[in-house]
Structure 1
Amino acid sequence: MAKLKIGALPNDKPVKVTVELPAGVHRDLVAYAEAIGRETGQPVNDPSKLIAPMLMRFMATDRGFAKWRRATQSLPAGDG
Protein backbone atom coordinates (compact mmCIF):
# COMPACT_ATOMS: atom_id res chain seq x y z
CA MET A 1 0.00 0.00 0.00
CA ALA A 2 1.16 3.54 -0.73
CA LYS A 3 2.18 5.78 2.18
CA LEU A 4 -0.79 7.82 3.37
CA LYS A 5 -0.41 11.57 3.80
CA ILE A 6 -1.65 11.50 7.37
CA GLY A 7 -0.81 8.99 10.06
CA ALA A 8 -1.78 8.67 13.69
CA LEU A 9 -4.28 11.24 14.92
CA PRO A 10 -2.92 13.93 17.23
CA ASN A 11 -4.39 14.17 20.71
CA ASP A 12 -5.36 17.84 20.83
CA LYS A 13 -8.16 19.83 22.47
CA PRO A 14 -10.83 20.12 19.78
CA VAL A 15 -13.06 23.01 18.75
CA LYS A 16 -16.57 21.92 17.77
CA VAL A 17 -17.45 22.60 14.11
CA THR A 18 -20.45 21.27 12.23
CA VAL A 19 -20.13 20.62 8.49
CA GLU A 20 -22.16 18.90 5.82
CA LEU A 21 -20.24 16.66 3.43
CA PRO A 22 -21.33 15.34 0.07
CA ALA A 23 -22.13 11.63 0.30
CA GLY A 24 -19.17 10.74 -1.92
CA VAL A 25 -16.75 12.64 0.30
CA HIS A 26 -18.14 10.87 3.36
CA ARG A 27 -17.73 7.46 1.68
CA ASP A 28 -14.13 8.34 0.84
CA LEU A 29 -13.53 9.51 4.40
CA VAL A 30 -14.82 6.20 5.74
CA ALA A 31 -12.61 4.33 3.26
CA TYR A 32 -9.60 6.46 4.25
CA ALA A 33 -10.26 5.67 7.91
CA GLU A 34 -10.27 1.98 7.03
CA ALA A 35 -6.98 2.36 5.15
CA ILE A 36 -5.36 4.13 8.10
CA GLY A 37 -6.62 1.41 10.43
CA ARG A 38 -5.06 -1.26 8.26
CA GLU A 39 -1.79 0.64 7.87
CA THR A 40 -1.35 1.57 11.53
CA GLY A 41 -3.09 -1.38 13.17
CA GLN A 42 -5.24 1.07 15.14
CA PRO A 43 -8.82 1.37 13.90
CA VAL A 44 -10.27 4.85 13.40
CA ASN A 45 -13.69 4.52 15.02
CA ASP A 46 -14.84 8.01 14.02
CA PRO A 47 -13.86 8.96 10.45
CA SER A 48 -14.73 12.60 11.14
CA LYS A 49 -11.58 12.70 13.32
CA LEU A 50 -9.61 12.60 10.05
CA ILE A 51 -10.94 15.93 8.81
CA ALA A 52 -8.67 18.11 11.00
CA PRO A 53 -5.40 16.30 10.13
CA MET A 54 -6.39 16.35 6.44
CA LEU A 55 -7.04 20.09 6.56
CA MET A 56 -3.82 20.68 8.48
CA ARG A 57 -1.86 18.70 5.88
CA PHE A 58 -3.57 20.50 3.03
CA MET A 59 -2.85 23.96 4.46
CA ALA A 60 0.73 23.01 5.36
CA THR A 61 1.47 22.02 1.76
CA ASP A 62 -0.42 24.84 0.00
CA ARG A 63 2.30 27.17 -1.25
CA GLY A 64 -0.10 29.98 -2.11
CA PHE A 65 -1.55 29.91 1.40
CA ALA A 66 1.92 29.86 2.96
CA LYS A 67 2.96 32.87 0.87
CA TRP A 68 -0.19 34.75 1.81
CA ARG A 69 0.24 33.83 5.49
CA ARG A 70 3.83 35.10 5.55
CA ALA A 71 2.79 38.34 3.86
CA THR A 72 -0.12 38.99 6.23
CA GLN A 73 1.87 38.14 9.35
CA SER A 74 4.36 40.84 8.48
CA LEU A 75 1.63 43.49 8.21
CA PRO A 76 0.68 45.67 11.19
CA ALA A 77 -2.40 44.44 13.11
CA GLY A 78 -5.67 45.15 11.33
CA ASP A 79 -4.17 45.28 7.81
CA GLY A 80 -4.44 41.54 7.00
Structure 2
Amino acid sequence: MTKLKLGPLADDRPVKLAVELPAAVHRDLVAYAAALATETGSEAVTPEKLVAPMLARFMATDRAFTKSQRQGMSKDSA
Protein backbone atom coordinates (compact mmCIF):
# COMPACT_ATOMS: atom_id res chain seq x y z
CA MET A 1 0.00 0.00 0.00
CA THR A 2 1.24 3.48 -0.76
CA LYS A 3 1.84 5.96 2.03
CA LEU A 4 -1.14 8.27 2.58
CA LYS A 5 -0.56 12.01 2.97
CA LEU A 6 -2.51 12.07 6.24
CA GLY A 7 -1.34 10.40 9.40
CA PRO A 8 -3.23 9.95 12.66
CA LEU A 9 -5.72 12.75 13.23
CA ALA A 10 -5.13 15.23 16.05
CA ASP A 11 -7.89 15.72 18.57
CA ASP A 12 -8.53 19.45 18.24
CA ARG A 13 -11.37 21.75 19.24
CA PRO A 14 -13.60 22.00 16.16
CA VAL A 15 -15.44 24.90 14.57
CA LYS A 16 -18.69 23.84 12.96
CA LEU A 17 -18.90 24.41 9.21
CA ALA A 18 -21.56 23.10 6.83
CA VAL A 19 -20.57 22.21 3.26
CA GLU A 20 -22.16 20.32 0.40
CA LEU A 21 -20.03 17.76 -1.41
CA PRO A 22 -20.63 15.85 -4.60
CA ALA A 23 -21.57 12.22 -3.95
CA ALA A 24 -18.35 11.03 -5.63
CA VAL A 25 -16.23 13.12 -3.24
CA HIS A 26 -18.14 11.70 -0.27
CA ARG A 27 -17.58 8.14 -1.51
CA ASP A 28 -13.87 8.90 -1.85
CA LEU A 29 -13.76 10.31 1.68
CA VAL A 30 -15.37 7.14 3.01
CA ALA A 31 -12.81 5.02 1.12
CA TYR A 32 -9.95 7.24 2.33
CA ALA A 33 -11.16 6.91 5.93
CA ALA A 34 -11.08 3.12 5.59
CA ALA A 35 -7.60 3.19 4.04
CA LEU A 36 -6.34 5.51 6.79
CA ALA A 37 -7.69 3.20 9.49
CA THR A 38 -5.95 0.25 7.84
CA GLU A 39 -2.65 2.09 7.43
CA THR A 40 -2.54 3.59 10.92
CA GLY A 41 -4.05 0.59 12.70
CA SER A 42 -6.69 2.81 14.29
CA GLU A 43 -10.44 2.80 14.29
CA ALA A 44 -12.16 4.14 11.21
CA VAL A 45 -12.99 7.83 11.35
CA THR A 46 -15.99 9.52 9.82
CA PRO A 47 -15.49 11.33 6.51
CA GLU A 48 -16.28 14.63 8.24
CA LYS A 49 -13.15 14.24 10.40
CA LEU A 50 -10.97 14.02 7.27
CA VAL A 51 -11.99 17.34 5.71
CA ALA A 52 -10.06 19.66 8.05
CA PRO A 53 -6.73 17.78 8.00
CA MET A 54 -6.99 17.35 4.22
CA LEU A 55 -7.60 21.05 3.70
CA ALA A 56 -4.80 21.95 6.11
CA ARG A 57 -2.39 19.60 4.30
CA PHE A 58 -3.45 20.98 0.93
CA MET A 59 -2.89 24.58 2.02
CA ALA A 60 0.43 23.76 3.70
CA THR A 61 1.75 22.19 0.51
CA ASP A 62 0.45 24.87 -1.85
CA ARG A 63 3.57 26.92 -2.61
CA ALA A 64 1.71 29.92 -4.00
CA PHE A 65 -0.52 30.07 -0.91
CA THR A 66 2.34 29.76 1.59
CA LYS A 67 4.31 32.39 -0.33
CA SER A 68 1.36 34.79 -0.25
CA GLN A 69 0.93 34.11 3.47
CA ARG A 70 4.60 34.91 4.15
CA GLN A 71 4.36 38.09 2.08
CA GLY A 72 1.22 39.12 3.93
CA MET A 73 2.97 38.59 7.28
CA SER A 74 5.97 40.69 6.25
CA LYS A 75 3.64 43.53 5.19
CA ASP A 76 1.77 43.30 8.52
CA SER A 77 4.96 43.51 10.57
CA ALA A 78 6.25 46.62 8.72
Normalised by the length of structure 2, the TM-score is 0.92
**Alignment-derived partner of residue 28 in structure 2:** 28
Map residues 1-80 of structure 1 onto 2, 5 A cutoff: 1-76=1-76
Relative distance call for 1:76 and 1:38 in structure 2 (3 A) is closer
Q: Cα–Cα, structure 1 residues 41 and 75, in superposed 2: closer, same or farther, change >3 Å?
A: same
Can you give the 5+ residue segments of structure 1 that lack an aligned partner in the other structure? Answer: none
Percent identity for Structure 1 against Structure 2: 60
CA RMSD of aligned residues (A): 1.2
CA distance in 2, matches of 1:61, 1:45: 23
| TM-score scaled by length of structure 1 | 0.90
Q: How many residues matched?
A: 77
Question: Where does structure 1 differ by over 2 angstroms across 4 or more consecutive aligned residues?
Answer: none
Deviation, 1:74, is 1.4
